[in-house]
Structure 1
C-alpha cells in the first residue's frame, strides 16, 4: 500500500480495506510505503488498532528518499511489526496539537506550528541537548534563577493547563506502550512527543527506533528475511524470500475522499456550511445557500471525523433524497434537485466499500441519471408553464381582444369581456374596430388597433380551439 499525505478518515478507510484484502488473500506480509506530515489522532488510532489486531505482519516503510514519518507517522512506525526507512528520510515531531494550530501543549509562542511542520535536524537536536546539559551544569554551580528557569522549562514540556497535560501524558503513555511492545527505544519516543525531537534514518537505526534501513523494496525483503516479529498471537519469523508483490494503490474513491479530508479543504467546507445555513435562515426561501451549506457541513463533519464514514455517507444520501423530493413538491427550477443529486452521489461514494464497489457504482450512476432526468423534466415543464400567459387576475387581460364603442383619438371606451372599460390609445380608433389590450392602469386599459391580418389569425385560432 501507499500512504502519501495527511492521515485522515480516507487514509484510515483505505488502510483497513487493504488489511482486509491481505487477510483474505492469506498474504505473508503487508508493506506500507509512508510519507506523511501527520494527521488526525482518531484516524491514526483506528489504523494502529488494525495493526495490533492483524494476523498478517505489517511493515511501515518510509520511502522514497526525502520522505518523512512526522507526528502521526511516528506512532504508526512504532506500532508496526517492522519499522523501516529509506536513506535520506526522517521521523519524529510527534507532539499532539489542537486541530487548526494553537501550538504544542504548554509550548508557548515559540511552538505555534503543528508537529508535522517542525522538521528539526539532528544537529539542532544534538545542539539543544548539549545546551540542556550545559544549562544543568550552570544551575548546579550558580543555583537560584537558573534552577527556576529549568523548572519552568520542565513544566512547559508537561503542559501548562490541565487539558494540555492530559493530552500530552496520554500521548506519551500511548507511544511508550507501542515501543515496549516491539522492544524499541521508548525514551526517545517520549522525547519526540514532549519536545518534538526528530531523527534521520541512520540515527533512528542507531538509537533502536527502527529495525531496518533499505534503499528499495527488494532490499527491504532481504533485510527482513528471518526476522522475528511480535504478533498478537505470539512471535513469528518472517519469510520474505521470493515473494510476489501485489500492489493495492489508492483508487479514485480514496483520492476523492483524501481531497475532501484535506485540513484546508475541510476548514473551508465548514465555513461555507455555516455561512450557507446562516444566509438561508436570514433569507428564507433563497434555497441556494441552504442547499450548499447543508452539503458542505456534512462533508466537513466527515472530514473532521465527527461523523464516521458510514454515517456521513448515509446522512448525505438521506439529505440528497430529501432535496430531490423537495424539488418535486416545491419547484425551485433545479436548485434543490441539483443539490440533491450531488449530495446523493457523494454520499453513495463515501458509503461504498471494497466488497460492493463493482455493484454499487453502476447502481449509483443509474439512480443519479434517473433522478437527473426526472428533475430535468420537472424544470422544463415548469419553465414552459411560466412562459404561458396568466389565466387569472388582471394579467390575464393582457393581449386580449376588445371592441371600440366609439370613435376616439386619445381616450374613450371599449367593450372587453362583456364589460365597459375606459381606454387610452396613441392611434385613432373607429367605432366597432377591434383593438388589443397592451397594458392595464387601474380601471383603464391601453389599447392599439388590430391589423386585419392579426384579426384573421386570432379568429382562425379561436375557431380551431372551439373545434378541438
Structure 2
C-alpha cells in the first residue's frame, strides 16, 4: 500500500513539474523596432536575444515599422538572428505601416516573415541626397554586395531570391498579398495573437513552435540602451551637436552662465549618438562659422561676418545630417526629412543667436545712459535752495536734485554731474536760456 502511495506521489510530482515547465515554455518575447535603425539597435537586439535565451521563450517576435537606417547595425542584426537558437519571427506591424530599405533586408533574414494588412515592404534601392535632389547609387560594387546579401538570406529561408534582388535593383514595393504571392513572406496576420496561432506547430531551427495561446511578454530595453537609442536617432544626434556648438558660442561670448559646459556635454552626447562617424567637412564648416560669429560679436554692428558665419553653420549642418550611403540606408524621402529637421531649427536658432549677440554687442559698445545726462537740460518741478533737495524733470523722468543756488519751480537748469541717484544742477539765467533757444 505504501509503495503504491509512493508511486502515485512521484507520478504527481512528475506531472506537476511537467505542467510547470510547459507553461513556462509557452511564452513569446516581443521586441519593437518602431523607428530608424540606429547604431544602438544591434545592441538592443543582442540584449533581447539574451533575454529570450535565458527565459526559455518559444520565439522572439520583432515587429517592424521603420524607414531603414544604419547599414552596419542592420548587418550585425542579421548575424545575430542567424546565430541564435531562438526562433526569430519578423512581423511588419501594425496595420498601415512599412518596413523599407534596411527594414526589408532585415525582414527577409528572419526565420519567419509576416506582414499585417495594408503594410508595405521594399524601397531598398540605395540613394543619396545631393544639392540637386536625390540620386540612386549605381556603384556596382555596393549594389552587387547588397543584392548578394539579400539573395543569400532569402535562399537560406526558402524565399524568392529574385524578388529579394528586385527590392534593391528596381526599388520594388509589395503589399502583404503580393509579398505572399511572390514568396518573400509566409504569413499575413491581423495581430500578434493571430500570428502566433498561425505559426503554432511550425518547425523552426530544429524545434516545434508551441505558440498558440502563449503569453506575450513585451521586451523593454534597460535604461542605458534606451537612452543610447534616443540619442542615436539621426535627427536627435545632429541637433545635439548643433546645440552644443551654439551653446559654446554663447558661452564664449557671454561667460558665466555655464553655457560652455552644456555645449561640451551636448557635443559629447551627439558624437556618441552618431557612433563618432561624423563628416569632417561639416565640422570644419561649423568651426569656421563659429569663428566668424565670434568675430562679428567682437566688432560693432551686424555685418558680413555674422551672416557668413550663419551660412557656414547651416551648410555644415546639412553635411552633418547622416544621409550619405552606405552608412545610412534609407529612402530619399526620409533622408530629405532628416535634412529639413536639422536645417530648419538650425536656421531659426542661428538667427536668434545672432540677434542676441547683436543686442549684447550694442549694449556693450553703447555709451552708458547716465553719461548722457551730463550737460543736458531739465526743468525744476518744485523750489529748493542751497543744501536742499528738490526734483527736476528730464525727458519725462523725475530725478532728485540739489544746487548751490536757489531754484524756483519751472526754472530751466543744466545738469553738471551725477552723484549716485542725485543730479547736481545749476540755474540757467534768462539770457543764457534765450541763447540756447
Structure-1-length-normalised TM-score:
0.48
Say whether residues 1:259 and 2:259 are aligned partners: no
Say whether residues 1:34 and 2:64 are aligned partners: yes
Residue of structure 2 in register with 1:305 after alignment = 275
CA offset at residue 60 of structure 1?
1.0
In the alignment, is the contact (CA less than 8 A) between 1:96 and 1:171 conserved in 2?
Answer: no
In the alignment, is the contact (CA less than 8 A) between 1:259 and 1:265 conserved in 2?
Answer: yes
Deviations 1:396-430 (A, max 9, x none): xxxxxxxxxxxxx99xxxxxxxxxxxxxxx999xx
Match of 2:92 among 48, 56, 62: 62
CA offset at residue 289 of structure 1?
4.2
Partner Cα distance (1:102, 1:91) in 2: 25
Deviations 1:245-304 (A, max 9, x none): 322245665554443222222221122334555666x66966834322221222112222
Partner Cα distance (1:71, 1:23) in 2: 29
Say whether residues 1:220 and 2:195 are aligned partners: yes
Say whether residues 1:239 and 2:210 are aligned partners: yes
Residue of structure 2 in register with 1:199 after alignment = 174
Residue of structure 1 in register with 2:142 after alignment = 167
Q: Secondary structure at the match of 1:9?
A: coil
CA offset at residue 83 of structure 1?
0.5
Deviations 1:166-192 (A, max 9, x none): 332222222122112112122222221
In the alignment, is the contact (CA less than 8 A) between 2:63 and 2:93 conserved in 1?
Answer: yes
- Unaligned stretches of 5+ residues in structure 1: 113-155, 308-408, 411-425, 429-445, 447-468
Residue of structure 1 in register with 2:347 after alignment = none
The structure, 1 or 2, with the larger RCO (C-alpha pairs under 8 Å, 6+ apart) is 2
In the alignment, is the contact (CA less than 8 A) between 1:277 and 1:294 conserved in 2?
Answer: yes
Residue of structure 1 in register with 2:341 after alignment = none
In the alignment, is the contact (CA less than 8 A) between 2:240 and 2:269 conserved in 1?
Answer: yes
Q: In the superposition, relative to structure 1, how do residues 51 and 279 fare at CA in structure 2: closer, same or farther (>3 Å)?
A: same
Q: Secondary structure at the match of 1:33?
A: strand
Structure-2-length-normalised TM-score:
0.52
Partner Cα distance (1:57, 1:35) in 2: 20
Partner Cα distance (2:77, 2:259) in 1: 36
Deviations 1:143-197 (A, max 9, x none): xxxxxxxxxxxxx6x61xxxx4433222222212211211212222222112321
Say whether residues 1:296 and 2:266 are aligned partners: yes
Partner Cα distance (2:241, 2:148) in 1: 33
Residue of structure 1 in register with 2:219 after alignment = 248
CA offset at residue 56 of structure 1?
0.4
Q: In the superposition, relative to structure 1, how do residues 165 and 290 fare at CA in structure 2: closer, same or farther (>3 Å)?
A: farther
Q: In the superposition, relative to structure 1, how do residues 166 and 68 fare at CA in structure 2: closer, same or farther (>3 Å)?
A: same
RMSD: 3.3
CA offset at residue 59 of structure 1?
0.3
Say whether residues 1:272 and 2:243 are aligned partners: yes
Q: After alignment, is 192-201 or 56-65 more displaced? A: 192-201
Match of 1:6 among 36, 40, 44: 36
Residue of structure 1 in register with 2:282 after alignment = none
CA offset at residue 214 of structure 1?
1.1
- Unaligned stretches of 5+ residues in structure 2: 1-30, 278-385, 388-401, 405-419, 421-437
CA offset at residue 201 of structure 1?
0.6
CA offset at residue 212 of structure 1?
0.9
Partner Cα distance (1:41, 1:300) in 2: 19
Deviations 1:59-116 (A, max 9, x none): 0111111111111211110111001111111111112345xx449xxxx84x45xxxx
- Superposition pairs for residues 401-420 of structure 1, below 5 Å? none
How many residues get paired?
256
Q: In the superposition, relative to structure 1, how do residues 286 and 185 fare at CA in structure 2: closer, same or farther (>3 Å)?
A: farther
Q: Secondary structure at the match of 2:113?
A: strand
Partner Cα distance (1:87, 1:4) in 2: 17
More strand by share: 2
In the alignment, is the contact (CA less than 8 A) between 2:243 and 2:263 conserved in 1?
Answer: yes
Partner Cα distance (1:165, 1:273) in 2: 39
In the alignment, is the contact (CA less than 8 A) between 2:48 and 2:221 conserved in 1?
Answer: no
Residue of structure 2 in register with 1:83 after alignment = 113
